Amino acid sequence: MARRAFEKPGIGVVFLAPLNGVEQTKAASEVGFHRTETLHSVRIEGDDAPGLASKVTRCIAGAGINLRGFSASVIGKPFVAYLALDDEEDAVKVVSVLKGI
């Protein structure tokens, strides 16, 4: 996922995930990527269904958790979504809430 850096005109930000293992992390680092400490995310995946994104976001809102960002894609039947959160505590809460659905 990519977005412009609104605080720095002419600059963009790219988010790369998932990185699995030392080899992938090292390769990303070698081309200029670095781990952020200011954004936490949760990846969810499964089979797509009508209303799924709504169900996920309603459950999170119902638990009093605010999303910083939401990005989802569907290719064929499977979907993947990334939920961006302000801190690790909220990420842990989201995982707990989503296990219930």
Which pLDDT value is given to residue 55?
Answer: 93
**Can you give the pTM of this predicted structure?**
0.77
The domains of the chain are located at: 1-35, 38-101
- Among 15, 8, 9, smallest CA distance to 40 is for 15
**Range 38-101 has CATH code 3.30.70.260:** yes
Q: Can you give the pLDDT of all 101 residues of the chain as single tens digits?
A: 777 877 888 888 888 777 889 999 899 999 988 887 778 899 999 999 999 999 999 999 999 999 999 999 999 999 999 999 989 999 999 999 999 77
